[in-house]
Amino acid sequence: MEISLTNSNGVTVRLAIDVMNVYVLGYYTPHPNCSGSYFFKDPVAERAKKYVFNSSHPKTTLQFDGSYRGLENNGASRKSQILGLPALSKLVQALYEYKCPNSNYNNTHVARAFMVAIQAISEAARFQKIADAVPNDRKPTREALKLENNWSKLSKAVLNADPTTKEFKSNLTLVDANDKDVNVSNANSPYVKGNLHLLLKPKDRQAPSQLLHSRHDQNYATI
């Protein structure tokens, strides 16, 4: 699936998203002087080149994958990066002008743009609590980060919950809005019901970040 992002200056780029797990694969810039598409450095994104942005040339592989670890290794700090649509609007310009003649945007700018896009789009699609924070420009809370890091585990707990009582086979520790640890043991928990919109099912788990970074698997947004 392709979606468009347009900033306040009218600049637009298109993102490629895996509809099975909302992971980010790459993006396309229609810049008149340097149009082209860029894909994360991993097997799934490489395969996606055959199916998205078909009229785009060249199709270039970035120097990093799309996991949170991969982005952080290129200068994008998840904890300190401002999250929200206003921040994303500013960062769209970096994606638009990347690799253009005389452009000052580099890998770090692209990594930062994706760090925000992944959370503002993919994570927001998964969790209502994160979606509620997207209109604001602020750093992600520990509550949000804990949800992001546990999407896979939370999905598994819900899928394997008792069909009658909705009880999980084992508790899952998250963080509440007051920065306190909270045990989630039932699919009727407010951290599930009304919050968790998408489940990562077993057949959808083979995303690049899972193959490359098992501790950060659920964070690879093919956007």
pLDDT in tens, 44-71: 899 999 889 989 999 999 999 999 999 9
Same domain, 33 and 101: yes
Same domain, 35 and 80: yes
Same domain, 36 and 107: yes
Same domain, 81 and 107: yes
Give the domain CATH number at 174: 4.10.470.10
Query: What pLDDT does 21 receive?
Result: 86
pLDDT per residue as tens digits for the range 125-172: 999 999 998 888 889 999 999 999 999 999 999 999 999 999 999 999
CB atoms within 10 A of CB 143: 21
| More confidently predicted of 212 and 124 | 124
Residue ending a domain, choose from 126, 155, 172: 126
Residue 208 has pLDDT above 80, yes or no: no
Query: What pLDDT does 74 receive?
Result: 95
Could you give the residue numbers annotated as active site? 123
Q: Which two tokens stand for residue 100?
A: 């253009």
pTM of the model: 0.86
**Distance, CA of 196 to CA of 180 (rounded, Å):** 19
Binned at pLDDT 50, 70 and 90, residue 210 comes out as very low
Q: List the one residue out of 40, 37, 38 whose CA is nearest residue 56.
A: 37
Q: 3-state DSSP call for residue 90?
A: helix
- 71: domain range? 2-126
Domain count of the fold of the chain? 2
- Structural domain contains residue 194: yes
**Distance, CA of 41 to CA of 25 (rounded, Å):** 9
Residue ending a domain, choose from 95, 126, 157: 126
**Distance, CA of 150 to CA of 175 (rounded, Å):** 11
Same domain, 110 and 194: no
The distance of Cα 185 from the centroid of its chain, to the nearest Å, equals 26
Same domain, 199 and 96: no
**Distance, CA of 66 to CA of 64 (rounded, Å):** 7
Q: In 34-63, which positions are buried (b, 16+ CB within 10 angstroms) versus exposed (e)?
A: eebbbbbbbebbbebbeebbeebeebeebe
